[in-house]
Chains A and B, each alone.
Chain A
């Protein structure tokens, strides 16, 4: 690759990921968190009474609950100041229910999305885009044949209005109750925006369903809620991508994801996140899988100051399957604490966890995971593999798995390795004409391939570019 191309690639990637726009906010709550704030949010959204009640109950729980504690090596959250969070911002757009098509979006928002490569995704004939600029879906496009099939893909606020019964039944009740942890409770109180996906029985959505989230306002939090319900024998792949510009002020992202996988249904949830380096990324994501269903989590965690994310799956029905593929990259000043939780609560359930992490320039990655096999979940099997790559002795790479096995007819295996990039591998590539940086980038690209091959091409490209960006100039 010539240096001109290098330069072009660099500026292009820089431009795509590190930019910031003047945003115009139609509505913004006062900083801080009070019952009044919650009432204002709920009223502005014109929510039914039950949702307001749930928000207020969650707020109460949030105020009573302690910060996560007693976790060995947990990221430092002492700087998380809830009072400095602006819980709700709505972009100034004409249509409250979202734009009909790309052209209807304000130029400013289109411009933001252009830099994120969304039009490319659109041109690639992806079948649905709900894009969240700040806290609300402003743009969606869904193919007609989906609607005919009864597939619903809309923003969460709209779902509360239009699909009230099903949302009321599933929203933060059985899957992620606010009592789960302090930040789930916070999320339950101030959630705004996000996606609602409903796939009826016997329906396959061939194209990935996509949503993009960004933050573009100083001192603002993002609390989007994603609810995916896949009925019996259905199939869907949902993708969420995030990329945030750098800020100087403090940010908190605390999303919630709930997935219901019906009997023999198959859901894949993929996300590549790249929060700015001052964001605290504290999410709660969980799936409940019925008999013979399959859940797949694919997550790339980049950026942020600290991330705590452990997508959880409850294998509730016999024969249910869960697969996790995660990658984490931590550079200077970053603490990426991620992993997976799996509960085997029925016989013949199966789970696999594949975790890759890269730490560099003083960054820390940690795999923290739990596999629980309940008494009676016989013939269950689980396999966990964690591999970590380290660049220097300033960085840290930890692995902290937990296994609770209460059933003897099981097959449980956990393996982890940590190492540096092999000098021999670098030498091999250099002897074939690559320079040191390119050799290392190639090795890293190969290392994370299990993740990238699970993603649609433009996501894989984005992930590789993000990692290239992180590695550029500071290698060797």
Chain B
């Protein structure tokens, strides 16, 4: 048992947070249970190979990283017509029963140590409620962390035949001495024939440790699509997951990262096919410069009853520097033969012939390389259906290349 228990974490702090938000008793109870569970919970699973642990989450000193009662943030929310985009206190007042029904139903509040910590301490976040039949294009959330630590919790409920596109930006604001900690949990429930697209652009300061769990449940004919761009943070441990629970449900998980300096991105995309005629497509591309390291896990799990499954996964990493490291483990777990499944992963460098082609046409090598790296992301950018997110991500990539 390697997990540390917060000595500086008390029940009264949790009660304080809960009171600030004006929460009902059931939520306070859920928080307290999560707090009590910390003693027995392990850190999130990480990949281990002979003699190596790919990401060492035990090495972080969460006591100095987390200040439970100091949570300063800025939140901008832009809602669309017919959709409720609310803070937790507003949402609990307005949709108390719905929240009680769905909270913790997708992401287990005690999934692991860091998730339970988030359940106990979350103070910021958003509830997005999309009523039946409502079509909502542009819900935007911008979270700026101004304190040492911030626990952000987002719940998305999309009723039958509704659709919503949510774009979330995560940044750090005020300078804070030393390392910082950001935790983001997203639960998405897509009802029958509903469509949820959730895009995140993470550009936290490079002193920040970032833990994310995004998980969706897709009902019959429903689609849950995730887009995640990781540019910032010192260390990111991210999980993006969909359970395809209804017949003919679909999910696409698109990921992009660009690491430099000594950034460490541990990124996982996972999908569970649990019904008939389900489709999943996992696409991730990343670039590494300097001493940056990426760790990728992709899991396609096809259940016993998942007849007529289609499941695809591809992951490509480009290494720009001698000192970088790219680790990858794409996994297939198939329990039904009526499946078409494939995965592929590649690691390499900027193609020499492409470089030669461009430099021979008078493009200077630095610029040629930048163009090729930008071009490398195109297949992922093409999968991003939200124009604004695509442009932002592209801007950040160019900014990093020319820094």
List residues of A whose CB falls within 8 A of some B CB: 70, 72-73, 341, 370, 372, 375, 388, 390-420
Known A402-B49, A410-B349: A390·B339 in contact at CB below 8 Å: yes
8 A Cβ contacts from B312-330 to A: 317, 319-330
Contact of B349 among A400, A409, A416 (CB under 8 A): A409
Q: How large is the interface on B (under 10, 10 to 19, 20 to 34, 35 or more residues)?
A: 35 or more
CB of B231 to closest CB in A, whole Å: 20
Q: Known interface pairs A370-B49, A397-B332, A403-B329. Does A416 touch B338 (Cβ–Cβ under 8 Å)?
A: no
Q: In this complex, what residue of A is CB-closest to B50?
A: A370
Contact of A420 among B320, B337, B342 (CB under 8 A): B337
In B158-177, the 8 Å CB interface with A consists of: none
| Per-position binary interface string of chain B over residues 284-311, scored 1 when its CB falls under 8 Å from any chain A CB and 0 otherwise | 0000000000000000000011010000
Judge whether B106 is part of the interface by a CB distance below 8 angstroms. no
Could you say which residues of chain B place their CB within 8 Å of the CB of A403? 326-329, 345, 347
B332 touches A408 (CB 8 A): no
- Min Cβ gap B10→A in Å is 33
Which residues does chain A contribute within 8 Å of B344, judged by CB atoms?
413-416
Q: Nearest-CB distance from B352 to chain A (Å)?
A: 10
Known contacts A73-B333, A388-B334: A408-B319 contact under CB 8 Å: yes
CB-contacts of B338-375 with A (<8 A): 338-349
Contact B348 A414 (CB under 8 A): no
Q: Are A415 and B343 in contact (CB under 8 A)?
A: yes
Q: SS class of chain B's interface: helix, strand, loop or mixed?
A: strand
List B residues 38-55 near A (Cβ within 8 Å): 47-50, 52
In the assembled complex, 30 residue pairs joining A and B whose CB atoms fall closer than 8 Å, in A order, are: A70-B48, A372-B49, A388-B332, A390-B336, A391-B337, A393-B307, A393-B335, A393-B338, A394-B304, A396-B334, A398-B331, A399-B330, A399-B332, A400-B332, A403-B329, A404-B52, A404-B325, A405-B319, A405-B327, A408-B322, A408-B324, A413-B344, A413-B345, A413-B346, A414-B328, A414-B344, A416-B330, A416-B332, A416-B344, A418-B332
Q: Is the CB of B346 within 8 A of A414?
A: yes
- From B52, which residue of chain A is reached at the shortest CB distance? A404
When chains A and B are docked, how far (Å) is the Cα of A394 from the Cα of B332? 16
- What's the least CB distance linking A210 to chain B, in Å? 32
A418 contact from B325, B339, B347, Cβ within 8 A: B339
Q: Which of these, B319, B340, B342, B346, contacts A416 with CB under 8 Å?
A: B342
Q: Which residues of A contact B320 (CB under 8 A)?
A: 408
Would B322 and A414 count as touching, CB distance under 8 A?
no
Q: Provide the residues of chain A in CB contact with B341, threshold 8 Å.
A: 417-419
Cα-based distance from A210 to B304 in the complex (angstroms): 42
A415: chain B residues within 8 A (beta carbon): 342-344
- Looking across the interface, which residue of chain A has its beta carbon closest to that of B315? A414
Bound complex: CA A247 to CA B214 (Å): 50
Are B334 and A402 touching (Cβ within 8 A)? Answer: no
Flag if B343 contacts A397 (CB, 8 Å). Answer: no
Q: Which residues from chain B contact A370 at a C-beta distance below 8 Å?
A: 49-50
Closest-CB distance, A370 to chain B (whole angstroms): 6
* A408, closest chain B residue (CB): B319
A290 CB to closest chain B CB (Å) equals 22
Which of A392, A401, A406, A407 makes the CB contact (< 8 A) with B329?
A401
Interface centre among A398, A400, A402, A412 (most CB of B within 10 A): A402
Contacts of B339 in A (CB 8 A): 390, 418-420
Nearest chain A CB to B365's CB is how many angstroms away?
Answer: 16
CA distance A70 to B317 in the complex (A): 27
In the bound complex, what is the Cα–Cα distance between A398 and B52 (angstroms)? 22
Chain A positions within 8 Å of B332 at CB level: 388, 397-400, 416, 418
For the complex of A and B, list the 5 residue pairs with the smallest distance between their C-beta atoms, beginning with the closest: A390-B337, A408-B319, A412-B347, A399-B332, A420-B337
Interface pair B330/A401, CB less than 8 Å apart: yes
CA distance A405 to B288 in the complex (A): 12
Cβ of B354 to closest chain A Cβ, rounded Å: 14
- Shortest beta-carbon distance from A405 to chain B in Å: 5
Q: How far is the CA of A394 from the CA of B304 in the complex (A)?
A: 7
* In the bound complex, CA of A266 to CA of B307 (Å): 46
Q: Give, as a whole number of angstroms, the nearest-CB distance from B239 to chain A.
A: 15
Interface centre among A375, A397, A398 (most CB of B within 10 A): A397
Contacts of A392 in B (CB 8 A): 337
With contact pairs A403-B347, A413-B344 given, residues A418 and B324 touching in the complex (Cβ less than 8 Å): no
Assembled-state Cα–Cα distance A407/B323 (Å): 7
Do B333 and A396 touch (CB < 8 A)?
A: yes
A42 to B231 Cα, complex, angstroms: 61
Closest to A385 in B: B344
**Minimum CB distance partner of A376 in chain B:** B322
**Least Cβ–Cβ distance between A2 and chain B, in angstroms:** 31
Contacts of B327 in A (CB 8 A): 402-405
User: For the complex, what is the distance from the CA of A395 to the CA of B339, rounded to whole Å?
Assistant: 12
Residues of B within 8 A of A399 (CB): 330-332, 343
Nearest residue in B to A411 (C-beta to C-beta)?
B348
| In the complex, chain A residues whose CB is within 8 Å of the CB of B348 | 410-412
Closest approach, in angstroms, between the C-beta of B100 and any C-beta of chain A?
A: 34
**For A391, what are the chain B residues with a Cβ–Cβ distance below 8 Å?**
337
Q: Tell me the complex Cα distance, A400–B323, Å.
A: 26
The proximity string for B residues 23-59 relative to A, scoring 1 for CB distances below 8 Å and 0 otherwise, is: 0000000000000000000000001111010000000
Complex CA distance for A398 and B50, rounded to whole angstroms: 20
A341 and B49 CA atoms in complex are apart in Å by: 11
User: What residues of A have a CB within 8 angstroms of the CB of B346 in the complex?
Assistant: 412-414
The CA-CA distance from A412 to B337 in the complex, in Å, is 29
Q: Chain A residues with Cβ under 8 A from B335's Cβ?
A: 393, 395-396
Shortest CB-to-CB span from A396 to chain B, Å, is 5
Please report the C-alpha to C-alpha distance between residue A397 and residue B302 in the assembled complex, in whole angstroms.
Answer: 10
